[in-house]
Chain A
């Protein structure tokens, strides 16, 4: 009897869904907002990368929301998993090859991360991707030398400063133009490094915030003692 009811329910639900799908004209949506952004973004925002101009100009408030989601997630993960007993055994040494490899990778990852952040409005990439690479650059060093840790005071300062400057740029636009996070300054020539107004500043703030947050989380997680196998 229960099986029959479940069968009826599933059949009815899939029938309703099929009716809805048959009424949709898929692939023929008018796409008013998207088409307008594609046409106008270059002249309005001045960023060569349209994805960045959506992320940091048209939908900058959503990016601020994403930052808070990431902050909440990183805080929770660090709180649940990042705890070290005082009598825990220290981790074994990483060895020469791991140490040398970490030292070799660190400057390369640093350059790539900052390149992706600073050129976020010209080439693919931006604050989030570059920030993750920056976090990886610092975490690789900790992996090579277990037991060492980053200075959490400095990380907390950078993270707070970057997040506050993101909101500060938004408040500046609110007082000057009447809209929160509206792009300010001259747009400049499309394709120049110094162009697109405040977008590179927002990208840098985003990258430093994400990078310091994830570096702090990863070092806190790797600092915890290993569980009993």
Chain B
């Protein structure tokens, strides 16, 4: 049973690690990095290393994602539209108008 859970988590980690490289949306890539950290922390719990798991969950899944997201915002890469240029409903109105013009 435990092996199957570990296998599932490893597959999730590998899939999101590949998704970090292939996803065209920067915000999505940052979220995928956090998913990798979360999966690794669950693996640490399964291997009876709760101290390392807590560090990985706090730093790898939480803090690094927040720092990367704030970096994206500073660099002007914080965009939620997909490849076709259609914007996401969460984007503020002013930016949505810019996208429809372009």
Contact = CB atoms under 8 A, between A and B. Distances in A.
A18 B66 CA distance: 41
Given A129-B58, A132-B63, A139-B66, A124 B51 contact: yes
A51 interface: yes
A196 interface: no
B51 A125 contact: yes
A214 interface: yes
A48 B3 CA distance: 30
Contact of B54 (A81, A116, A139, A217): A116
Interface of chain B: mostly helix, strand, loop or mixed: helix
Interface in B21-77: 50-51, 53-55, 58-59, 62-63, 66-67, 70-71, 73-77
Contact of A129 (B55, B75, B79, B95): B55
A27 B41 CA distance: 24
B70 A133 contact: no
B68 to A, nearest CB: 10
A226 B78 contact: yes
Contacts of A87: none
Interface string A103-133: 0000000000000100000001110110011
Given A92-B92, A116-B54, A226-B73, A77 B67 contact: yes
* Residue picked from A49, A132, A224, A225, most chain B C-beta under 10 Å: A132
A229 B58 contact: no
Contact of A227 (B62, B74, B95): B74
